[in-house]
């Protein structure tokens, strides 16, 4: 019998039958996997805490016919304080949705897992604007998944300065002379360009150590949305919900 011992972060939980759950977990050893947790919804189940969204745990599973079956789970961190605020909760759920979208089965990435955990910690701590935290997560996680825009050289001519446009389709910045390559390219300010560059170039330690102006955050958010939509071909329901929420308050 194949046994899997791994750390992992619960991205999603789905109720099955009377008292079971199937959870989607981004694991250190195997990337994204589904795990069946029998009886996890029974009031006295030993699986309750470790099978909720955001739970970061040590899992022991054995391989069934089509799915992993949960045998033991020990919680390392629940990120419970994310649930105290509708924004941090929604941003957290969105981060898990994004990870589920870019995470691949049998393609583990310790870097992506660590980035995701740091993002949840940052959201839970509340030192930085959660919108900025999530923008950082988007650009960095996309980059770790192979979508890294060129931000130091014009994608048209290779020039290393005077960028005016950001072309999502061409995959990076354009100078004035090359702007004809993509009529749909967005104008980009130096502040936003520098921010993206900083995010792509920073390691985990310095990644969440900066602030930006409201105008940069706004421009960055607009670009992020387009960038994700273009490369993932997906609209995230939770992000639409957050945007709606923001118009109400
Ligand atoms: Zn150029």
Give span(s): CATH 1.20.1440.120, the chain. 81-149+181-248
**How many A from CA of 53 to the centre of ligand 1?**
45
* Residues β-bridged to residue 37: 21
What b/e string do you get for 11-49 counting C-beta neighbours within 10 Å, with b at 16 or more?
A: bebeeeeeebbbbbbbbbebbbbebbbbbbbeeebebbe
Q: Is the model's pLDDT at 249 over the cut of 80? A: no
Q: How confident is the model at residue 51 (pLDDT cuts 50, 70, 90)?
A: very high
**How many A from CA of 212 to the centre of ligand 1?**
27
Which residues make Cβ contacts (< 8 Å) with residue 224, sequence separation at least 6?
135, 138, 139
| CATH 1.10.260.40 for the 3-77 domain, yes or no | no
**How many A from CA of 247 to the centre of ligand 1?**
38
Give span(s): CATH 2.40.50.140, the chain. 3-77
pLDDT at 166 (0 to 100)? 97
Top-level CATH class of 81-149+181-248? mainly alpha
**How many A from CA of 159 to the centre of ligand 1?**
6
Q: What is the mean pLDDT of residues 4-16?
A: 97
178 in Cβ contact with 154 (< 8 Å):
yes
Cα within 13 Å of Cα(18), Cβ side: 1
Indicate whether this complex's ipTM tops 0.90.
Answer: yes
Surrounding ion ligand 1 within 5 Å at CB are: 154, 156-157, 159, 175, 178
pLDDT at 146 (0 to 100)? 94
Mean pLDDT of the chain: 95
pLDDT at 66 (0 to 100)? 87
The percent of residues above 70 in pLDDT, for the chain, comes to 100
**How many A from CA of 190 to the centre of ligand 1?**
16
**How many A from CA of 154 to the centre of ligand 1?**
5
**How many A from CA of 55 to the centre of ligand 1?**
46
Which residues make Cβ contacts (< 8 Å) with residue 136, sequence separation at least 6?
119, 199, 207, 208
**How many A from CA of 189 to the centre of ligand 1?**
16
What are the pLDDT digits (tens) for 200-218? 999 999 999 999 999 999 9
In angstroms, rounded to a whole number, what is the distance separating the alpha carbons of residues 81 and 69? 29
Q: How confident is the model at residue 235 (pLDDT cuts 50, 70, 90)?
A: confident
Q: What is the mean pLDDT of residues 184-190?
A: 95
**How many A from CA of 112 to the centre of ligand 1?**
32
What are the pLDDT digits (tens) for 56-101? 999 999 999 889 999 999 999 999 999 999 999 999 999 999 999 9
Q: Is the model's pLDDT at 30 over the cut of 90? A: yes
pLDDT at 1 (0 to 100)? 84
8 in Cβ contact with 30 (< 8 Å):
no
């Amino acid at each position: 019998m194949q046994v899997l011992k791994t750390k992992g972060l619960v991205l999603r939980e789905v109720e099955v039958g009377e008292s079971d759950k199937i959870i989607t977990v981004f694991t250190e050893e195997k990337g994204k996997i589904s795990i069946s947790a029998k009886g996890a919804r029974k009031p006295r189940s030993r699986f309750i805490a470790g099978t909720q969204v955001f739970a970061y745990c040590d899992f022991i599973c054995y391989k069934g016919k089509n799915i992993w079956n949960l045998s033991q789970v020990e919680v390392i961190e629940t990120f419970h304080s994310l649930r105290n605020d509708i924004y941090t909760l929604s941003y957290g759920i969105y981060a898990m949705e994004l990870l589920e979208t870019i995470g691949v089965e049998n393609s583990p990435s310790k870097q992506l897992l660590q980035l995701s955990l740091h993002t949840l910690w940052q959201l839970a701590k509340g030192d930085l604007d959660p919108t900025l935290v999530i923008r950082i997560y988007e650009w960095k996680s996309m980059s770790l998944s192979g979508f890294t825009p060129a931000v130091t050289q014009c994608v048209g001519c290779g020039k290393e300065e005077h960028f005016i446009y950001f072309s999502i389709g061409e995959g990076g910045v354009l100078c004035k002379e090359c702007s004809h390559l993509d009529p749909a390219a967005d104008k980009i300010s130096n502040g936003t360009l520098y921010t993206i560059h900083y995010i792509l170039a920073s390691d985990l330690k310095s990644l969440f150590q900066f602030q930006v102006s409201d105008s940069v955050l706004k421009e960055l958010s607009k670009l992020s949305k387009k960038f994700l939509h273009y490369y993932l071909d997906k609209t995230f329901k939770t992000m639409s919900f957050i945007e709606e929420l923001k118009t109400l308050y």
